[in-house]
Amino acid sequence: GQGDVHGEVVVLGSGPGGYSAAFRAADLGKKVVLIERYPSLGGVCLNVGCIPSKAMLHAAKVLTETEEMGAHGISFSKPKIDLDGLRDWKDGVVKQLTGGLAGLAKQRKVEVVQGMGKFTGPNMIEVDTGDGTRTVSFDQCIIAAGSEPVKLPFVPHDDERVVDSTGALELRDIPKKMLVLGGGIIGLEMACIYDALGSSITVVELQEQLMPGADKDIVKPLATRIGKRYDNIYLKTKVTNVEPQKKGLKVTFEDDKGETFTDTFDRILVSVGRVPNGAKLDAEKAGVAVDERGFIHVDHQQRTGQSHIFAIGDLVGQPMLAHKAVHEGKVAAEVASGHKRAFDAKVIPSVAYTDPEVAWAGLTETEAKKQGVKYQKGVFPWAASGRSLSLGRSEGVTKLLFDPDDDRVIGVGMVGPAAGDLIAEVALAIEMGSDAVDLSHTIHPHPTLSETVNFAAEMYEGTITDLM
């Protein structure tokens, strides 16, 4: 084919996992080729995931905070939303980052080949560039092909009123009445955005709580707040049918008692999870096994069954998070470059950037109970944090789980504004094997939300003297 290339390390997919792996391998002296289907580098996270959603969540936060200041003596006039302006800003943030990646690739002499890549043999990928094919051969390969949204058989995905997170982030218009199908992190972040923009929101979730991975007490402050703001939140309820009509999408719900009811929406966001892209790569031609769900299994060095082929990111399993993909990407690149490295992180924090933010890392209480792990907890309610009250918010909670035998911290759940940033301290504490005294004797700046970690450790020790 036109312009065949060879890479000592070839990376398939340029999301956070792929670009981290490519850059690391190049920095370690390898000749690297990065294959990406789309013209813009950065994968889901930069183009249609983490980054555009966080830009929109910032806009949502400004809208709700100004609205809520009305109760504290400052009122603003009703905001004028210029969707074109907002979209341009969000797209600009994405462009700045993806353009930056292209520059970083160039600096490192990472060759980017654009097109859809598929394996044709154990050392060969064929890339369909749109106007021909290019053959990319490799000594070692890192598969980082990511994931895409799950589609539901009974939902008319070809109706333009049905969108996934990518469609919702396009910001075409502000629907009057929107159904969020799936109450996980992505669905609830999108709900938060469209609620702030003025849509009436209904959320439907099959499980008995929103954000099923997190402890119920940590999700509760969010559930309470959005329960007041949104039209409806249906738990233990499934959607069984969606009928496109002229005036809207008629949705049939069924609750856990088998009762059915219907409602009509002008937009449905389907956010019921993501499927790995493993099944689309002809990986078996390279001798790499893909399971029936499309995942590729790897060992602690990110190696597939073929020792010269690695896999990382959403493609290798849960949690499907960018920081996990990045970490795995670096591990794979270092191992491929002959360094001793393995994936040995103790915790991978999860964060929902909703309002309030919900974050957890390490063991949850639910998991501890299920696994029979002995634990004791220290819980600090933010209603007793001066900083939280001065933000006009009192619903937050910081919960630390400890091993009662040695007082080491083994898990954390947090809810409240900025919980996603605050949790990093406890992630470090868990990685370092810190105990309650380490957290309670570290002087935290006052008044900050970070003190809630200090206070939760003191609650566990029973030494707390002042709640402020």
Query: What are the residue numbers of the active site?
Result: 446
* Residue 426 in the binding site for ligand FAD (CB under 6 A): no
To ligand FAD, the closest distance from the beta carbon of 112 in angstroms equals 11
* Residue 30 in the binding site for ligand FAD (CB under 6 A): no
To ligand FAD, the closest distance from the beta carbon of 235 in angstroms equals 22
The three-state DSSP-derived secondary structure of the chain is CCCCEEEEEEEECCCHHHHHHHHHHHHCCCCEEEEECCCCCCHHHHHHCHHHHHHHHHHHHHHHHHHHHHHHCCCCCCCCCCHHHHHHHHHHHHHHHHHHHHHHHHHCCCEEEECEEEEEECCEEEEECCCCEEEEEEEEEEECCCEEECCCCCCCCCCCCEECHHHHHCCCCCCCEEEEECCCHHHHHHHHHHHHHCCEEEEECCCCCCCCCCCHHHHHHHHHHHHHHCCEEECCEEEEEEEEECCEEEEEEEECCCCEEEEEECEEEECCCEEECHHHCCHHHHCCCCCCCCCCCCCCCCECCCCCEEECHHHHCCCCCHHHHHHHHHHHHHHHCCCCCCCCCCCCCEEECCCCEEEEEECCHHHHHHHCCCCEEEEEEHHHCHHHHHCCCCCCEEEEEECCCCCEEEEEEEEECCHHHHHHHHHHHHHCCCEHHHHHHCCCCCCCCCHHHHHHHHHHHCCCCCCC
Out of 7, 9, 11, 17, the residue judged to bind ligand FAD by CB under 6 A: 17
To ligand FAD, the closest distance from the beta carbon of 358 in angstroms equals 12
Out of 133, 165, 388, 450, the residue judged to bind ligand FAD by CB under 6 A: 165
To ligand FAD, the closest distance from the beta carbon of 336 in angstroms equals 16
Stretch that binds ligand FAD, among 6-14, 60-68, 376-384, 398-406 (CB under 6 A): 6-14
User: Closer CB to ligand FAD, residue 428 or residue 437?
Assistant: 428
* Residue 192 in the binding site for ligand FAD (CB under 6 A): no
Residue type, 263: D
Applying the rule CB under 6 A, the residues between 336 and 365 that interact with ligand FAD are 353
Out of 321, 401, 426, 456, the residue judged to bind ligand FAD by CB under 6 A: 321
Applying the rule CB under 6 A, the residues between 280 and 299 that interact with ligand FAD are 280-281
User: Closer CB to ligand FAD, residue 98 or residue 440?
Assistant: 98
* Residue 320 in the binding site for ligand FAD (CB under 6 A): yes
Stretch that binds ligand FAD, among 294-302, 316-324, 364-372, 435-443 (CB under 6 A): 316-324
Stretch that binds ligand FAD, among 196-204, 257-265, 315-323, 394-402 (CB under 6 A): 315-323
User: Closer CB to ligand FAD, residue 135 or residue 442?
Assistant: 135
* Residue 11 in the binding site for ligand FAD (CB under 6 A): no
To ligand FAD, the closest distance from the beta carbon of 278 in angstroms equals 9
The three-state DSSP-derived secondary structure of 99-129 is HHHHHHHHHCCCEEEECEEEEEECCEEEEEC
To ligand FAD, the closest distance from the beta carbon of 76 in angstroms equals 28
* Residue 276 in the binding site for ligand FAD (CB under 6 A): no
- As a whole number of angstroms, the distance between CA 52 and CA 63 comes to 17
* Residue 14 in the binding site for ligand FAD (CB under 6 A): yes
* Residue 213 in the binding site for ligand FAD (CB under 6 A): no
Out of 7, 16, 378, 417, the residue judged to bind ligand FAD by CB under 6 A: 16
Sheet holding 248-255: strands in order across? Answer: 237-245, 248-255, 260-265
> In whole angstroms, how far apart are CA 2 and each of 115, 127, 135?
13, 10, 8
* Residue 314 in the binding site for ligand FAD (CB under 6 A): yes
Out of 277, 388, 398, 440, the residue judged to bind ligand FAD by CB under 6 A: 277
The answer to whether 311 and 296 are in contact (CB under 8 A) is yes
Site string for ligand FAD, 167-186 (x = CB under 6 A): -------------------x
Out of 323, 341, 408, 444, the residue judged to bind ligand FAD by CB under 6 A: 323
* Residue 325 in the binding site for ligand FAD (CB under 6 A): yes
The answer to whether 115 and 128 are in contact (CB under 8 A) is yes
* Residue 248 in the binding site for ligand FAD (CB under 6 A): no
To ligand FAD, the closest distance from the beta carbon of 23 in angstroms equals 13
Applying the rule CB under 6 A, the residues between 56 and 115 that interact with ligand FAD are none
Positions in the binding site for ligand FAD (CB under 6 A): 12-18, 35-38, 43-45, 49-50, 53, 116-117, 144-147, 165, 186, 277, 280-281, 313-315, 320-323, 325, 353
